[in-house]
Structure 1
């Protein structure tokens, strides 16, 4: 009965005691993946402080194990009875090495109390440095991967720009082909027109030459058919006509 009453404050103190562990992962920093099995494979946690002990070296878990069976006084009675049994039956003989061990234990306790905090602070700094190194390596890897993703997005954007550039080049080539086609059509048109103009000019020249030759032939024929007497009479008649016109004027 008394052991249960003594156990209740101890359990309350244990419940109110803050946890002395810290996680070495960044699970709380972001959303956990749905594919990760945290039940069977939980994330490892590193103890920041050592576990709770009693009498300086006995783990508290041993006492908690006895509490369920014997109550609060059980571990102490068991330890005292065990030591008394070992010493009374001379199973553990207290020879000169035992007292040397006590002296050595006192020195160790003094060294731990004297130099323990300094060494612990130094080791904590070393652990923090190693952890910071690991975290920096991870952050650098994340940063390099993020940069690689950004570079890939830029390359995709450039590829899309290249597709637009190819379309523009295709349109330019199409315009150049259209211009070359129209230029060749214009060349064909000018060449055909030049040849047709040549044929028209040739026909005109042939017609003029024919007319000229025909007129010359008719004039020559007429001139050959007119006698000198007829020419003289015609000339005189023309002179008379001119004189009559001049008299009327």
Structure 2
């Protein structure tokens, strides 16, 4: 991915930048040597150093280069959990003739940076290693020669788009795959969390159902006795309510009879007093009654004197 560059350094010296590739966790490292001593890099050299990840004078750590991830192949840290081979969402599912589709984790093997390897394999078995390349090259030349594929400005744009695609996939493809895998893992974790919550609810429901079943079995034998006692309590409550009603009604009637008798006596007393008062007043108007009464009183006084 990198090219050797010869950059001017002052008037008498030149710096040769040579790419040296190492197999390490930090990717590619580039060493710079100078023919005559070392000096302060110029503007172009600083840009080159930044692109190559070479630390400038005075920097303790090498900067992060934008080309560190170029031409890297991405591999998942842990592959997704495969579906069990004997899994069936229904007993009638035919897994032999209609298996579950599987999402490929990695793109298929390619040749020439973008051509599927499956296109070359059938020819390679018959014609050898160079046969597929000659076949597709000859087919392309035949289509252009016979003007079946008219190679106009759209064809040039197609080549440009292919080059742009190759450059894009080789530069940011690693980071893009890594980011998409992280988002996929987040989505898996989200759905796994939902499944875990559902399983937790199911386990809690099973525990609650078991406890309720145990309680029901414990009280099942006592249900008839409980119902009988409840019926007896209801009958007792109804009886006491009826007795209370009878007592209330009886008291009300007795109160009515008592009040009636009291009213009757009071009326008789009033009539008697009135009758006596009228009789006395009538007799008081009679003079013989006064004399008779006076004689009667004198006789009673004499009788009292004799007794004394």
TM-score, structure 1 length as denominator? 0.49
Q: Which has the higher contact order (CA 8 A, sep 6+)?
A: 1
Compare CA radii of gyration and give the structure with the larger one.
1
Looking at secondary structure, tell me which structure has more helix per residue: 1
TM-score, structure 2 length as denominator? 0.41
